[in-house]
Amino acid sequence: MPKNFILDTNVLLHDPRSIYSFKDNNVIIPIYVIEEIDQFKRDLSELGRNARLVTRYLDSFRSEGSLREGVPLPHGGFLRVSFADQQELPSPLADGNLMDNRILAVAIDLMKKEPDTEAVFITKDTNLRIRADALGLIAEDYDTERVEITELYTGFTELLVPREAVDQMYKPGAEVEISSQDQLSPNQCVLLKDETNPSHTAMGRFNAAKGRVVPLLRLIKEGIWGVRPRNMEQAFVLDLLLNDEIKLVTIVGKAGTGKTLMAIAAGLHKVTEESLYHKLLVSRPIFPLGRDIGYLPGSVEEKLNPWMQPIFDNVEFLMNLSRADKKAGRGYHELVDLGLIEIEPLTYIRGRSIPNQFIIVDEAQNLTPHEVKTIITRVGDNTKIILTGDPFQIDNPYVDATNNGLVHVVNRFKNEKIAGHITMAKGERSALAELAANLL
């Protein structure tokens, strides 16, 4: 039995193609949603782009018939633009001047007029879902692909193996065949444990092309730019970052786990020591993504400084500058002046093609799935891209810990041979920082 799905404004602004996501059910858009969308159409942000896209989609359906009467959708069902008689508003919605109340009124009116068809109100506004539920409406969040953090792919696992398999990992040209390899994802990191002595272990990575577990790169033990891994997770991360066959690396972890530091160290090594890439390109979302940075005085570089200072701090730490060096004016700008590092906002990335670069997108948890898609599709030949972030520290009101762009990429790319992922849990910034991350 088809259902009636009534969409709130934030659903269409979050995903302009949401009207195609309800299979053979009916999609109803309150006319007041169109009014709200109209307020965003001149914005230069992602919301403005989505508002214009929604308007074009709806206008294209007018050629199929009357939107008021309903037009057929490609996968079945009908699309309608509806409104309710303001005289019939329920008493809790007596203030018809509030747009949310008018939108709810349409859902309630539809529920009464078509009692045989289940009405479901779809909104990403938590408070509006609560109000709808109190009025007797079925209210749901909109997420085509929601991934709970506790179920997120971690990127590594532990396996019990014979003692000989662990010993083999320490020999030159080592490769170990695992009987349970069908359960491993490409580039999944593995801690092999001796069946008879669990303290006897070896770290490796599953090579899907060979169907075997191979040791981590030897360079990791030596360290890069003065950085050596302090725990197993950091060792796994460095292996993925330094492996040239892996073009996309996602790193999820709480504050202080070393996500950004490891990524920058690997990028500097690949650019300066191995000359594999022309430059290291680092960026963070200037929240909200797409907002004009002209509110700050100065050039683009000067406007970016407040946003990019965490990146600069990590670079200067890796440069191991003494107090005298800093007093003499030395700093991250030396690498910028040499063209080895470029700091750039994501605001103007659409339409670009970026070849031969090592790209780091920090704080990627503040990006929507569409924004992440826009960024990754800019990658050109011989470019590697790293996405780092903490899903529990989100500033963007349009995403949460389960549907942000970073988590979306982790879930979609976990079975791809050119991608790797690690979820980091152990903090190494300081004892105080680790305690604060766990207790506060």
The pLDDT assigned to 87 comes to 47
Handedness of CA 274, 221, 202, 422 (dihedral sign): negative
The pLDDT assigned to 290 comes to 47
Higher pLDDT, 281 or 338: 281
- For 311, phi then psi, to 5°, come to -70, -45
Residue 421 pLDDT class (50, 70, 90 cuts): very high
Least confident of 134-148, 197-211, 409-423: 134-148
The answer to whether 234 and 258 have CB atoms below 8 angstroms apart is yes
The residues of the chain that CATH labels 3.40.50.300 are: 223-439
Residue 99 pLDDT class (50, 70, 90 cuts): confident
Q: Which superfamily does CATH assign the domain made up of 4-140 to?
A: 5'-nuclease (3.40.50.1010)
Interatomic CA distance for residues 381 and 108, integer angstroms? 53
Q: How many CB atoms lie within 10 A of CB 416?
A: 15
Structure tokens that stand for 23 in this block: 């299979």
The residues of the chain that CATH labels 3.40.50.1010 are: 4-140
CATH number of 223-439: 3.40.50.300
Residue 335 pLDDT class (50, 70, 90 cuts): confident
398-411: pLDDT as tens digits: 777 777 889 989 99
145-165: pLDDT as tens digits: 555 666 788 999 998 888 988
The pLDDT assigned to 327 comes to 61
**pTM listed for this prediction:** 0.75
DSSP-assigned beta bridge partners for residue 119 = 4
Structure tokens that stand for 205 in this block: 């990575």
